[in-house]
Structure 1
Amino acid sequence: MAVRPVRFVGFWTAVVAPLAYLALLASPLDGRSRLLLLTGVFFANVFGLIVGRGYRADA
């Protein structure tokens, strides 16, 4: 029952997360902050790819 909304969120996280890479690379953050944010976005992207896999495959 809750699988479809979770896949929806995962799919759109995987779609939108790469846009954050560009914003983070263009921002004037120091090394440690940028590394932590890039790592977080990377793991959110991987999470989205794994969880969102198969979204709308049954439609």
Structure 2
Amino acid sequence: MPIIEVNMFEGRTSQQKREMISAVTQAVAQTLDVPETNVRIIIRELSKDNFGIGGKTAFELGR
């Protein structure tokens, strides 16, 4: 059973996340030749204040 973890900044809409889950599920199922029902997707949404790049937060860098 493939388990895919996606880390991304918060702020995407529920519709965008649904579409991403669908597309990734299809790609993994096809590539690994497994049923789509066996694919798991975990989304972890990160605050830009909780992500550092080069000693600054992503928020500070305007990411």
Normalised by the length of structure 1, the TM-score is: 0.41
Q: Compare relative contact order (CA 8 Å, sep 6+) and give the higher one, 1 or 2.
A: 1
Q: Which has the higher strand share?
A: 2
